[in-house]
Chains A and B, each alone.
Chain A
Amino acid sequence: MERKVEMEEQNKLLNDVTQADYKYGFVTDIETDIIEKGLNEDIIRLISKKKGEPEFMLNFRLAAFKKWEKMEMPDWAYLKIPPIDLQSISYYAAPKKQPKYESLDEVDPELLDTFNKLGIPVEEQKHLAGVAVDVVMDSVSVKTTFKETLAEKGIIFCSFSEAVKEHPELVKKYLGKAVPVSDNYFAALNSAVFSDGSFCYIPKGVRCPMELSTYFRINAANTGQFERTLIVADDDSYVSYLEGCTAPMRDENQLHAAVVEIITMDRAEVKYSTVQNWYPGNKEGVGGIYNFVTKRGVCRGVSSKISWTQVETGSAITWKYPSCILLGDNSVGEFNSVALTNNFQQADTGSKMIHIGKNTKSTIISKGISAGRSDNSYRGLVKVMPGAKNSRNFSQCDSLLLNDTCGAHTFPYIDVRNKSSIVEHEATTSKIGEDQIFYCNQRGIDTETAIGMIVNGYAKEVLNKLPMEFAVEAQKLLQLSLEGSVG
């Protein structure tokens, strides 16, 4: 009996430790221009008109909308998704004041204050060596820095709207090539209504001299966020792209359905890193972001490489499978993920690696961490086509449970259609060791710090793949997401 009581106490302690309040819950009061709620063809025409888009974009949106109308929301994920009323969402919000900023002094002080609260002071970012920031506030880019430095190398890094206006030929050529409009329900929705996002083009033979990063932030209440990112790396080029986000605390749920497309040509490499920290809802599971994301890269050229690295700690619901289509011979795809769920969060995340070219290689490293009453699933597909001779995949899916009330699930799908390829899959599930925590305690380290340390150690293999400054942020985030009040 005593043993049982002790166990309950231990669980209670772990629960206390893992129940921290969301630290980035605040709302920025900036005037926004919001169109009426609802979704129909007229709304899509209005969005396109408000953005002053060329006809090909309107046609793209309308084609997507027509497909979407015939689609149903997917229900195959291990998620309980409350009904989402897409007609009660406003599909466009833009800050009213849109001056062109020459210096940070001209930027709305409230916005700067927001960044300060986030611990990402924009004024310091200027000095941060090698980081260009394209800040997306709601849907329209407010500030772009380092653009000129990049322009000297012929690199295009701008908001998606700007790209549509200034580089329509590139957008037209590559948009929807990795994620077709009819790919899935949420991708079709995004294609129809997307507001803004980022566009990046690295010309032939250019190594982007700095990490490119964008901070996303949902702000206006009741506004769905539909970001669109397109990255094209031409022959022999390289870029490392960082995406990180936090969102203010809200009670009503907010839908987020982003699409990211990457295309790499011969011998090009794109590294895409994400730290995702949308508002996860409160301890009782009220509120939080619904995050339905489609991320896909196509290694179109020979010996090209795309790697996805993600640290997912936020959102009430995460539905996300960054994938690689390995079309070019000898191309390489990588997926490295840490997904942490706490309280009532649900995550169904993983990757798809589709081997089409010869000698293609892919690696999947997935580290799930579950706490509270959350559910954390890995779902992955490795598909090797008949022509993908001598291809290789290695997948490793680990789950770490912090208590007895959370869940970890693994759904690996493997489909190999030739005999010369090798596919390996390893999986482990473990519970955080009370002995490990006690060992730390005995050295003077409190339980909260100990759990942060153990979790970071567990996720290290993936954190190591992140660029330095991001890795530090991610480590803090993992600790924060599990932090609480230990007496």
Chain B
Amino acid sequence: MLKIKNLYASVDGQEILKGINLEIKPGEVHAIMGPNGSGKSTLANVLAGKQEYEVTAGEVTFLGENLLDKAPETRAKDGLFLSFQYPVEIPGVPMANFIKTAVNEHRVHRGEKELTAGQFLKLMREKMELVEMKTKLTNRSVNEGFSGGEKKKNEIFQMAMLEPKLAILDETDSGLDIDALRTVANGVNALKSPETSSIVITHYQRLLDYIVPDFVHILYHGKIVKTAGKELALELEEKGYDWIKSEKGN
């Protein structure tokens, strides 16, 4: 699915990622944890193709193709989805129109016909139920006036609509109360299949109670310093990150 080899990236001339290696196979869930500033969000943004992040070395293949050569919208249409840590507001653009445009761009990319209004509405209702999203939200402008929880649900709703092959959840749990967390996690789990994979970026073990990872990686100073099974998350929860810091030196 995704192969990252020796990836280096910088922003504003400052090197953030310093040689990441990671392989994700279909059906796998990988959690990436690590202290603030370790490069978790940078990794997510580099994979999604955000402009101000400059890849200085390394390679990434997604579904066997070079990912880094592709425009962000092509990566998205190939099946890479990023659930944003801070979803962006777009005033005046109704959520329903936005996601309809996105869905149809994906369909055209796959050589399928655009959805009719009826088909689209049916699909939208179905997917909204999945994340218990209120109907009125799709009539509102994209993320405008949404609460923190609604914004995160909206990200998972979009993920459900676009059915990505690889979903990157960037701190999807931040700012969520326990009920919203459960809803969001249930949504993510419902979309899980042997053909799809996900990368769950989080600070806390809490989310991983619901979305159970196959692997947990610890990112520290731009490198993956430890990889283990889901028990690693529990260990982190107990001991914090200090032991990693002292083990790796500062």
Q: Indicate which residue in A3, A9, A441, A458 contacts B92 across the interface (CB closer than 8 Å).
A: A458
Using Cβ atoms and an 8 Å threshold, which residues of chain B touch A439? 84, 87-88, 90, 142
B52 lies within 8 A of A457 (CB): no
Q: Which residue of B lies closest to A5 (CB)?
A: B54
Decide if A434 is an interface residue (CB 8 Å cutoff): yes
Decide if B105 is an interface residue (CB 8 Å cutoff): yes
Given the complex of chains A and B, what is the CA–CA distance between A401 and B45 in angstroms?
A: 25
Given A438-B51, A443-B98: A458 and B72 interface contact (C-beta under 8 Å): no
Known: A2-B12, A441-B73, A442-B81. 13 other contacts (CB 8 A): A6-B51, A6-B54, A435-B88, A440-B90, A440-B98, A443-B102, A443-B105, A444-B102, A445-B105, A456-B92, A457-B141, A458-B91, A461-B92
Decide if B166 is an interface residue (CB 8 Å cutoff): no
Given the complex of chains A and B, what is the CA–CA distance between A449 and B93 in angstroms?
A: 12
Given the complex of chains A and B, what is the CA–CA distance between A438 and B86 in angstroms?
A: 12
Decide if B123 is an interface residue (CB 8 Å cutoff): no
Given the complex of chains A and B, what is the CA–CA distance between A427 and B243 in angstroms?
A: 53
Using Cβ atoms and an 8 Å threshold, which residues of chain B touch A151? none
Using Cβ atoms and an 8 Å threshold, which residues of chain B touch A441? 49, 71-73, 76
Decide if A39 is an interface residue (CB 8 Å cutoff): no
A459 lies within 8 A of B92 (CB): yes
Using Cβ atoms and an 8 Å threshold, which residues of chain B touch A36? none
A443 lies within 8 A of B76 (CB): yes
Q: Indicate which residue in A1, A438, A444, A446 contacts B162 across the interface (CB closer than 8 Å).
A: A444
A3 lies within 8 A of B76 (CB): no
Q: Which residue of B lies closest to A13 (CB)?
A: B51
Using Cβ atoms and an 8 Å threshold, which residues of chain B touch A444? 73, 76-77, 102, 105-106, 109, 162
- What would 21 A/B residue contacts be, using CB atoms closer than 8 Å? A2-B12, A2-B13, A2-B54, A6-B51, A6-B54, A438-B50, A438-B72, A440-B73, A441-B76, A442-B48, A442-B49, A442-B81, A443-B102, A444-B77, A444-B102, A446-B73, A454-B93, A456-B92, A457-B90, A457-B92, A461-B92
Per-position binary interface string of chain B over residues 156-197, scored 1 when its CB falls under 8 Å from any chain A CB and 0 otherwise: 001000100000000000000000000000000000000000
Using Cβ atoms and an 8 Å threshold, which residues of chain A touch B81? 442
Using Cβ atoms and an 8 Å threshold, which residues of chain B touch A438? 48, 50-51, 72, 88
Residue positions of A touching B, CB distance < 8 A: 1-3, 6, 9-10, 433-436, 438-447, 449, 453-454, 456-461
Using Cβ atoms and an 8 Å threshold, which residues of chain A touch B54? 2, 6
Given the complex of chains A and B, what is the CA–CA distance between A436 and B50 in angstroms?
A: 11
Give min CB distance, B36 to chain A, whole Å.
20
Question: How many of B's residues come within 8 Å of A, CB to CB?
Answer: 37
Given the complex of chains A and B, what is the CA–CA distance between A150 and B158 in angstroms?
A: 50
B158 lies within 8 A of A443 (CB): yes
Using Cβ atoms and an 8 Å threshold, which residues of chain A touch B11? 3
Q: Indicate which residue in A9, A440, A459 contacts B51 across the interface (CB closer than 8 Å).
A: A9
Q: Which residue of A lies closest to B89 (CB)?
A: A436
Decide if B10 is an interface residue (CB 8 Å cutoff): yes
Which of A2, A443, A445: most chain B CB closer than 10 A?
Answer: A443
Give min CB distance, A175 to chain B, whole Å.
40
Given the complex of chains A and B, what is the CA–CA distance between A453 and B73 in angstroms?
A: 15
Query: CB within 8 Å of A: which of B1-30?
Result: 10-13
Using Cβ atoms and an 8 Å threshold, which residues of chain B touch A447? 73
A434 lies within 8 A of B93 (CB): no
Using Cβ atoms and an 8 Å threshold, which residues of chain A touch B12? 2-3
- For the complex of A and B, the 9 pairs showing the least CB-CB separation, nearest first, are A457-B92, A457-B93, A460-B92, A441-B72, A443-B102, A439-B88, A444-B76, A444-B105, A444-B77
Number of A-B contacts (CB under 8 A): 92
Given the complex of chains A and B, what is the CA–CA distance between A438 and B84 in angstroms?
A: 11
Given the complex of chains A and B, what is the CA–CA distance between A435 and B101 in angstroms?
A: 18
Decide if B82 is an interface residue (CB 8 Å cutoff): yes
Query: CB within 8 Å of A: which of B133-151?
Result: 141-142
A442 lies within 8 A of B93 (CB): no
Q: Which residue of B lies closest to A441 (CB)?
A: B72
Query: CB within 8 Å of A: which of B25-54?
Result: 48-52, 54
Q: Which residue of B lies closest to A10 (CB)?
A: B51
Using Cβ atoms and an 8 Å threshold, which residues of chain A touch B162? 443-444
Given the complex of chains A and B, what is the CA–CA distance between A283 and B92 in angstroms?
A: 29
Using Cβ atoms and an 8 Å threshold, which residues of chain B touch A454? 90, 93
Which of A6, A434, A458: most chain B CB closer than 10 A?
Answer: A6
Given the complex of chains A and B, what is the CA–CA distance between A444 and B101 in angstroms?
A: 9
Given A434-B51, A441-B73, A443-B76: A3 and B98 interface contact (C-beta under 8 Å): no
Using Cβ atoms and an 8 Å threshold, which residues of chain A touch B88? 433, 435-436, 438-439
A453 lies within 8 A of B90 (CB): yes
A445 lies within 8 A of B102 (CB): yes
Using Cβ atoms and an 8 Å threshold, which residues of chain A touch B87? 439
Q: Which residue of B lies closest to A3 (CB)?
A: B12
Q: Which residue of B lies closest to A447 (CB)?
A: B73
Given the complex of chains A and B, what is the CA–CA distance between A443 and B51 in angstroms?
A: 15
B101 lies within 8 A of A449 (CB): yes
Give min CB distance, A451 to chain B, whole Å.
11
Q: Indicate which residue in B52, B84, B141 contacts A6 across the interface (CB closer than 8 Å).
A: B52
Using Cβ atoms and an 8 Å threshold, which residues of chain A touch B98? 440, 443, 453
Give min CB distance, A57 to chain B, whole Å.
46
Using Cβ atoms and an 8 Å threshold, which residues of chain A touch B105? 443-446, 449
Q: Indicate which residue in A9, A433, A442 contacts B82 across the interface (CB closer than 8 Å).
A: A442
Give min CB distance, A311 to chain B, whole Å.
15
A453 lies within 8 A of B93 (CB): yes
Given the complex of chains A and B, what is the CA–CA distance between A98 and B232 in angstroms?
A: 88
Given A2-B13, A3-B13, A441-B73: A453 and B50 interface contact (C-beta under 8 Å): no
Give min CB distance, B169 to chain A, whole Å.
13
Query: CB within 8 Å of A: which of B63-111?
Result: 71-73, 76-77, 81-82, 84, 87-93, 97-99, 101-102, 105-106, 109
Using Cβ atoms and an 8 Å threshold, which residues of chain A touch B102? 440, 443-445
Using Cβ atoms and an 8 Å threshold, which residues of chain A touch B52? 3, 6
